[in-house]
Amino acid sequence: MRGIKWTLPLLGYACAACGDQPVAGLADSAGAESASADSAPIDTAATDTAALDRETGDSGAGQDSAAPAAVATCMVGMVPVPPEAPLYCIDAYEVSLGTLSLAGQSPEVALTFHMAVEACEAAAVVDESGAVRGYKRLASDAEWEDAADGTPGEGGWAFPYGDLPVEGACILPDAGNTPVYDELQPTGSAPACVSQFGAYDQIGNAWEWVDPGQSVDTAAWFAAASAAGHDLRVGDDDRLYSGDVDLSWMNYEGVIVTGFVPYAAEDGALTLEASAIELPNDAYLSGYLEASDQAELEERYLPVALVDQGDMQLALYLESVREGETFTSKRGCAYYTGTAIACTNQSVSHEHPPGFAGTIGYRCTSDPIPPAE
Ligand SMILES: [Ca+2]
Ligand SMILES: [Ca+2]
């Protein structure tokens, strides 16, 4: 029997007061649901003015047909990336009040990934005349990151405000990961936490759902894993077999599974020995299998289930019914987890299933509005 070295800390039942790490994210299910109840009054005038200044740098753009150098613009509340030749627009603030991008509001949270996608796709892009010019979409990983790092494509700052962390700039816990805030803060209330393009609170305040544009593709996972040298096979009954010692399990439902000692049985069937853990009633855990070199597998995760075999033995099965399931990204950390050093524009977590509804907000992007003919 050969031992398998786990490469991830195994996670636990969602804890109400997790001193959670940025990668864990399980505390999203705890607390903060009441924050949306204490929204500040809307200051649309101030918001609109600020947004317009950022969007166009020219309040007449789009209306003056004689302006030869007109560029595409963004609707009120969105900022162009980059301003000089917008590739896309992004909400300047975490979404609040349904689908709006406004300063001074409590961010929408407790939505699933699917709900965030639908909310963005239902939000009209409206031009200065009030005409609908299209609809928004949930920010993709590339869009979200470039809006934060200030450089479209490769490169950019590590933090919205620069390349060095500044404690207190964004709405995050302190350097020891002890919360400074006990609830979500109004959007845009940290004046230093703004990117070069004018997007506020990408780091901190609410976590944000972001679309990685990937879904479960079992064949692609096996091909990539094989190419990377992993020995992993699936039996006729979907049970997984391996002589590989470099795989790890990532929990899917927010269940604590510390205490597992994974090992490969004699025939190579992947099995976890559950010791000193509290199994859920059905002893069925749905999650992902990942390899330690996951980045080289292009962040593909294999959908697997742990199935109780009795005697505290859990077998790993491929969960083929999840083929095509959307992956999710979660970015930016939150007021209750992460630090100024740990939470960068480039950090990304993929651990939540698309149906998870915790303390995660979102922001939308859109195509720019073309200049008037
Ligand atoms: Ca970039
Ligand atoms: Ca945020």
Sole residue written with tokens 């000692």? 261
Total domains, the chain: 2
Same domain, 265 and 301: yes
**Whether 183 contacts 107, CB under 8 Å:** no
Residue pLDDT, tens place only, 109-142: 999 999 999 999 999 999 999 999 999 999 999 9
Contact present, 242 and 264 (Cβ < 8 Å): yes
Q: Of 359, 352, 311, which Cα lies nearest the Cα of 205?
A: 359
Domain CATH number, residue 181: 3.90.1580
Task: Find out whether 352 and 360 touch, Cβ atoms under 8 Å.
Answer: yes
Ligand 2 centre distance from Cα of residue 110 (Å): 14
Structural domain containing residue 353? 31-213+329-373
Query: Does residue 22 lie in a domain region?
Result: no
Closest listed residue to residue 39, CA positions, set 193, 183, 173, 190: 183
- Between the CA of 216 and the centroid of ligand 2 the distance, in Å, is 26
Q: Is the dihedral of CA 156, 100, 331, 320 positive or negative?
A: negative
- How far apart CA 336 and CA 16 sit, in angstroms, is 11
Could you say which ligand is closest to the alpha carbon of residue 359? 2
Ligand nearest to the CA of 156: 1
138 Cα to the center of ligand 1, angstroms:
18
**pLDDT tens digits for range 37-67:** 333 333 433 344 333 344 443 433 444 445 5
pLDDT above 80 for 216 = yes
Q: How far apart are CA 141 and CA 210, in angstroms?
A: 6
Same domain, 151 and 91: yes
How far apart are the CA of 143 and the centre of ligand 1, in A? 9
- The pLDDT-based confidence of 258 (bands split at 50, 70, 90) is very low
Instruction: Determine whether 16 is exposed, middle or buried from the number of CB atoms within 10 Å of its CB (0-12, 13-18, 19+).
Output: exposed
Q: What are the tokens at 219?
A: 């064949």
Residues 203 and 260 occupy one common structural domain:
no
Residue 26 in domain: no
Query: Given a cut of 90, is residue 146 above it in pLDDT?
Result: yes
- Dump pLDDT digits (tens) for 70-95: 899 999 999 999 999 999 999 999 99
Distance (Å) from CA 37 to ligand 1 centroid:
35
Which ligand minimizes its atom distance to the CA of 335?
2
Smallest-distance ligand from the CA of 187? 2
Give Cα separations from 222 to 176, 213, 230 (angstroms): 40, 19, 9
> In this structure, which residues have their CB less than 5 angstroms from ion ligand 1?
146, 149, 151, 156
Indicate the pLDDT class of residue 306, thresholds 50, 70 and 90.
Answer: confident
Ligand 2 centroid, distance to 243 Cα (angstroms) = 41
Say what the pLDDT of residue 259 is: 40
What does the mean pLDDT of the chain come to?
Answer: 77
Which ligand number lies closest to the CA of residue 95? Answer: 2
pTM for this model (two decimals): 0.72
111 is a domain residue: yes
The C-alpha atoms of residue 272 and residue 249 are separated, in whole angstroms, by: 10
